[in-house]
Structure 1
């Protein structure tokens, strides 16, 4: 880059007799911290190679320039050590630094080694809910503390988890309150590994500082550079709003609940083949089997069953030795756990550890769904089906609730505030659903949404041999279902008073304003 500047400045070749040495950038102005000794050596060597290449290029621009690279006259400021346990001022005093750039380690909150967890606890001492933050969050806090009141600007490549779900309020709310602001951001993009086995990492780049910044804020999304008035923790051009856990819905709507958790070691859950084989040997156990669905079963419509012994007649149960054998294995499995709650559940080995059963039809919402789908597939299930803990359920729901939940408005909100499991959407009641600002509707609005919701269900019935995975695959989604969803989207947007021409980011921005008003 400096050589490009020299080219512009000299406008052609010149001799050193006419000017001073034009080089102003040296590798001695770069500082780094690396925990791996081999990587330190590689970094130092790479800097020397880069300097050598730069000098050779300069010779081709400035006639007569002859600053020999060898013998080495420069030193490289790469410090070996754990960046989270080193005082960065010992590497270079903050008052002498201008920029921080980094690509910190990508380690999820549930995958950290004990030493990494210690780093998190030390960096975020006194903060709440830090157990839900990924390791990369530490560098944001460390950089913000190091900046102080100096004119330092930072940019870090990170997993996109820090801009999603509850991580936003945990990390960014205290940082913003301390004076940090986001100057620019690259929204989620896939970073491919160069390894033979590809590892797709979903990343963001966040540029931030404490110092006053009068430059235009920019949000980069794909190939687009979008000017922004403010960039919040969700990387949206909106006010600094934080969606935090809420135990009850923000609006007057039905509550949703997570299905039951078996914690059974697999002894109460059977495939269709296993169930049939079981009943061939013990047909009297037939009344104890119920259809069972987790999220993937629901989307793929792959039948599974559970042994459901809520209210079971003990006399009949005694006549089912194979059932009792499985119940005993559940008890042994739970007793072997180190968790107190699981051990407690061993007192009732005939039952799921947590129980949810609906007597009537309910809406099922998968907890995890592919990011490739425009809509999270939701559907009505018969009360006979026992929901597992990868399904959220809404009992006694009308077509109106179904229509709003299946709309592009709700999906836009979900994509902005939900967490992620790898790259997949992780729906939640406490963050996504309970904080969702529902529209204030007229009777006409409600009727239109109820009608469009029924059209979605009707379009699905045209393809009885297709599961939700096929129906909502972007490549195979039937035209009739697309049209039904488009009509439903328009009906819901009309209820909010939204223009159908607004972008998804604009839609989320308006929803956040509504959320703020409803607080």
Structure 2
């Protein structure tokens, strides 16, 4: 329970302050600074600092300047009345209007919108404060919070009923403490922080009791049902659905007479189920029903066990956080999950980061429109129409259905419920201003309720907990708003909104899968753990098995109808699905989704596909999912692209965050994820990217700073140039391939071992013992190893011609291959697992070829001699000429590869299909080819020479130093040694010269001036200057345009072969038409279209004008001129309503959008 808060100010000081300010008049400019300064003195807070000329130093000051960017690039200057960095933006008014009147409410809302605009105009490096404060000087302070600080909506704090603090409320110690915390420690006001601590403590107590009862021999499910009823009874007494403290007092009595416990608690629960007088509590109790108290089966408890219930009951259940309670309760009640109880859980702030753009922000945008429409009616004295508009929106809000098709214990659904209740509270407040609102709505039984929040969950225990979580959250909210729960009976309703079933497939029947011996096939249950006898750490308990089934006639599950879909489906990669789920289930799922979801896709992508399909076909408005971070990679993009690129029914990504930190709700592990939100049609999106992360003590969520960019969001979660849809070019085809895969370390031999096996003495063996290189050989230090390569020989031929080498493989490779699951590898044990004949054919007759490490920090290319066999982690390009090597090694191609490729952890990956086959090479003159070729040869020779002279010198080390030189950073002693040994400054100059030559070959000397010499030439640079980012984006856009142009040429039969003698030997003269090296010109502006008709619907009018103002400021005349018959009167009416609510401002003749 909370301790009673202590007063900050003396009673006399508070009364003096109230008396001084309660009758004040005048303008806010004359009074607000004095009012706020005296408020600070009253609450023992520091006064604001004097303003500094350096605006960045004004962290706590009056009249803090902000520069507001308009959509057309112009700026407006604004001044925050009082700003405290990391705490609040405060906007002051002195309205002179009666409190709670319509005019006063509109003035305060306008002030809030102004403050919200100031927040969004703050410099990005200062971050957004958690609070907006709006004060009517000397009368009220209104608080709005946004604790995630990620750009979301500020909402009334602590709720829509109690967010306004009147002057006389300062007499309350809790109000004084709230305001003091607002100034000094605003994050301590985040209710989720206190709630999380309470929830953890309660869950730990329940887990201790559950463990004790299981030790007494009670079945897990019986214990779980018993404890769920206990905890809901504890909650009921704290929110006064039962007499306050009555259940805790009952438990205290039962501790003295534990032999009566089962009869007594059974009687209480029967009374709660049916309603009526409870002899146990000696009080009348409400009828709960809802299925929770049916089939009760109390468990006898010892005094010690009853004490654990008492400990749990003494927690303040009003403040248990439903968003995490379900997860912790699930862990507490399941013995297989209990080891995770101390692990991390998915923080509420992370859940909100997806729920808000998926569901709440679209509803709030609609609510903003409804408020303007109602205001326009009110300005014309059409109160009935305004009332109807508000009621219609409220009715819609109460009909919206939200589905989480993998709901777990309902944390996403609960957060959605709470935010919809908050929005509902604002709607009801606005209705109350007109005609009393809530009373009549209560009579209609119209309210946002758990019935609207639908879930599918395959785990029956989690599904049951999900229902309790939603009801606790719903009842908590009503109690918080009203201070009591005067609800119609039964309190709990069995809506069947949480379904315990599989979200992907249904089937007629299933039967255990049998092995060859007729025994049931089992796999680890994926949950149970045990302590390792060697390390003491938790490892999978392989004795905990679950049966693998065969599914008959599987078909796709039909999801419940919903308006919005949101959730966090399971994180299982494609390669681990069989191990985690069993062959039978995976085969059934892949059979059902064959042709729509490729087998290479991660498990979560099945949910993504179903939701996208529902949205595109009009069955839902929008969906948002947490997915694995590999969403951007090719094997998962194959799921996104058909939806995003469909010509008739396209899907748009309206919101995305790649590479976001996350806490897996299953095991508490820290992972990286992607968030995506999709809606039907062509629409712009918001891409947020993590720019920094920080951990704070006692906070589950990492502090995540996010950058924002708006535009078209592509399947690879980039924005701007559409590199994801770049087409593979015939000119680059059949030239790139990965190396061979050994599948056996025994193939590798040292040069000394190779000589012992006959190399140099046995004729022909030099064709079968070859030099071998992998990624580390290129980027670090080469091992100078060789491999035994019997490609082209049968086992008998190898044995008879090269018996020593054959025996080497027989002893070292065959034993391992005998256990290989793939029959072909077991049978052909003397050959590499993947011999790659296509690569061998590509490299035939070449003296050298180009190679790069598929996954590496720096994207580097090198020439390898033809006698070197490359490993499968090398991507190899079958070109021998130096100018091709130079173009591929240039900043132009490397930037393309970083944009079109993917990442593994923080290292770039070079998928050849995306990075090489789509890349448009320039057309070179002989002079350009010679210049680029000479520079490329210099770079390759320089690196090999310096590494030969200094065996410990690595390419990674050299290019790490080069990046520091580009950035102008000081080198440490080790780096100075590398610079001297590698002559890195000279190498850097050669690279810059190469980059300039390649830019010149494209005709893009302007980009050479903007980019050559800057950091990020070979490796991603996350925090780059805006000018560099803009130039790189321009480079990508030009390359995309060139790719499109080349693809169009190829469709007409004109192919610019890179190696025509190999790629198209039948063509006597390959097409080498010179491409004009100029930047693409913008397309001519479209011809004027027929003017639109001014819509009759007021809501559509508001939306149209707001969208137009979002593009650039307009006068009323220019807005009206966009429509037939120039509806100036209608335009002015909408502008007046927008201005009254602070959503638009007039400056001279022009209007601009505030939000």
- Name the counterpart of 2:747: 268
Other-structure match for 1:190:
660
Which residue is 2:868 aligned to?
Answer: 385
Q: 1:201 to 1:19 in 2, by over 3 A?
A: closer
Whole-Å Cα distance in 1 between the matches of residues 427 and 834 of structure 2? Answer: 73
1:292 corresponds in structure 2 to 772
Determine helix, strand or coil for the equivalent of 2:745.
coil
User: Per-residue displacement from partner, 1:372-401 (whole Å, max 9, x unpaired)?
Assistant: x3x422212234432222223234533322
Greater mean alpha carbon deviation, residues 506-515 or residues 467-476: 467-476
Task: Tell me, in whole angstroms, the C-alpha distance in 1 between the residues paired with 2:832 and 2:598.
Answer: 37
Q: Deviations over 1:387-438 (max 9, x none)?
A: 2222232345333222322233323333343355566544333343222222
Give unpaired runs (5+ residues) of structure 2.
Answer: 1-418, 507-554, 691-705, 967-984, 1011-1027, 1048-1155
> What do you get for the CA RMSD once the two structures are aligned?
4.5
CA contact (8 A) 1:231 1:237 kept: yes
Closer/same/farther in 2, CA of residues 477 and 218 from structure 1, 3 Å limit: same
2:810 maps to 328
The answer to whether the 8 A contact 2:632-2:715 is kept is: yes
Aligned-partner Cα distance in 2 for 1:66–1:311 = 79
1:367 corresponds, among 846, 850, 854, to: 854
Show the counterpart of 2:331.
none
How far 1:172 sits from its partner (Å)?
1.7
User: What whole-Å deviation, never above 9, does each CA across 1:443-464 have from its counterpart, x for those lacking one?
Assistant: 5554554455456447746674
**1:509 to 1:88, Cα distance in 2 relative to 1, 3 A:** farther
1:397 equivalent among 877, 880, 893 = 880
What is the distance in 2 between the residues matched to 1:199 and 1:451?
A: 51
Please say if residues 261 and 353 of structure 1, whose CA atoms lie closer than 8 Å, have aligned partners that are also in contact: yes
Q: Does the 8 A contact of 2:657 with 2:689 survive in 1?
A: yes
In 2, the alpha carbon distance for the partners of 1:509 and 1:39 equals 48
TM-score by length of 1: 0.77
Displacement of 1:303 after TM fit? 0.3
- 2:628 equivalent to 1:156: no
> Given that residues 166 and 431 in structure 1 are in contact (C-alpha distance below 8 angstroms), is that contact kept between their aligned partners in structure 2?
no
**Cα distance change on mapping 1:167 and 1:90 into 2, 3 Å:** closer
Q: Which residue of the partner structure matches residue 78 of structure 1? A: 498
Q: Which residue of 2 aligns with 1:430?
A: 913
Alignment of 1:74-223 (within 5 A): 74-75=493-494, 77-85=497-505, 92-93=560-561, 97-113=562-578, 114-115=583-584, 117-118=586-587, 120-127=589-596, 130-147=598-615, 148-165=617-634, 167-169=636-638, 171-173=640-642, 176-177=645-646, 179-193=649-663, 201-210=671-680, 212=681, 216-222=684-690, 223=706
| Residue in structure 1 matched with residue 456 of structure 2 by the alignment | 33
Equivalent-residue separation in structure 2 for 1:88 and 1:345 (angstroms): 40
Structure 1 residues 312 and 35, CA gap change in structure 2 (3 angstroms): closer
* CA–CA distance in structure 2, aligned partners of residues 90 and 170 of structure 1: 19
CA distance in 1, matches of 2:832, 2:678: 54
Q: What is the match of residue 374 of structure 2?
A: none
Alignment partners' CA distance in 2, 1:209 and 1:40: 28
Distance in 2 between the 1:198 and 1:450 partners?
Answer: 53
Q: 713, 723, 726: which one pairs with 1:231?
A: 713
SS at match of 1:131: coil
Query: Following the alignment from structure 2 to structure 1, what is the Cα–Cα distance between the partners of residues 607 and 930?
Result: 51
SS at match of 2:730: coil
Normalising by structure 2, what TM-score? 0.38
In 1, are the aligned partners of 2:740 and 2:832 still within 8 Å (CA)? no
Candidates 732, 738, 741, aligned match of 1:258:
738
In structure 2, C-alpha distance between the alignment counterparts of 1:284 and 1:91, rounded to whole Å? 67
1:169 touches 1:242 (CA, 8 Å); kept in 2? no
SS in 2 for 1:251: helix
Change (3 A) 1:312 1:135: closer
Q: CA 1:88–1:99 in 2, change beyond 3 Å: closer, same or farther?
A: farther
| 8 Å contact from structure 2 (residues 571, 627) kept in 1 | yes
Partner residue, 1:303 = 783
User: SS at the partner of 1:112?
Assistant: helix
> Does the C-alpha gap of structure 1 residues 323 and 459 become closer, same or farther in structure 2, counting only changes over 3 Å?
closer
Task: Tell me if the contact between 1:363 and 1:381 (Cα under 8 Å) persists in the aligned partners.
Answer: yes
In 1, Cα distance between equivalents of 2:605 and 2:736? 31
Q: Separation in 2 of the partners of 1:196 and 1:81? A: 18
In structure 1, runs of 5+ residues without a counterpart are: none
Q: CA deviation at 1:122?
A: 4.0
Deviations 1:13-62, CA, capped at 9 Å, x for gaps? 99x977436894323211111222333234333323432442343237xx
When Rg is computed on C-alpha atoms for both structures, the one with the higher figure is 2
Instruction: State the 1:363 CA deviation.
Output: 1.8
Contact 2:919 2:1043 in 1 (8 A): yes
Relative to structure 1, the CA distance from residue 19 to residue 388 in structure 2 (aligned partners, 3 Å threshold; closer, same or farther) is closer
Q: Aligned partners of 2:465 and 2:907: how far apart in 1?
A: 35
Partner Cα distance (1:53, 1:351) in 2: 61
- Structure 2 vs 1, CA of residues 509 and 27 (structure 1 numbering), >3 Å: closer, same or farther? farther
How many Å apart are 1:269 and its aligned residue?
A: 0.9
Say whether the 8 Å CA contact 1:363–1:378 is kept in structure 2. Answer: yes
SS of the counterpart of 2:877?
strand
CA distance in 1, matches of 2:488, 2:939: 70
Structure 2 Cα separation of the partners of residues 381 and 326 of structure 1:
27
Checking the alignment, whether the CA contact within 8 Å between 1:31 and 1:91 is kept in structure 2 is no
Aligned mates of 2:798, 2:557 — CA distance in 1? 74
Question: How far is 1:300 from its partner?
Answer: 2.3
Q: Structure 1: how far apart are the matches of 2:428 and 2:834?
A: 75
* Cα distance in 2 between the residues matched to 1:125 and 1:409: 39
Does structure 1 residue 514 correspond to structure 2 residue 1026? no
Change (3 A) 1:89 1:124: closer
Residue 48 of structure 1 corresponds to 471
Residues 392/145 of structure 1: CA separation in 2 closer, same or farther (3 Å cut)? closer
Q: Measure, in 1, the Cα distance between the counterparts of 2:422 and 2:962.
A: 48
In the alignment of these two chains, the number of paired residues is 493
Q: Indicate the SS of the match to 2:576.
A: coil
Distance change in 2, residues 1:233/1:450 (3 Å): same
Offset from partner CA, 1:148-206 (integer Å, 9 cap, x none):
32452111222243333254345422564261311413242133436999856443222
CA contact (8 A) 1:173 1:242 kept: no
Q: 1:234 to 1:445 in 2, by over 3 A?
A: farther
- Post-superposition offset of 1:83: 0.8
> Does the CA contact (< 8 Å) of 1:259 and 1:393 recur in 2?
yes
Larger deviation: 328-337 or 159-168? 328-337
Change in Cα spacing, 1:258 to 1:52, as seen in structure 2 (3 Å) is same
Q: 1:120·1:130 contact (CA, 8 Å) conserved in 2?
A: no
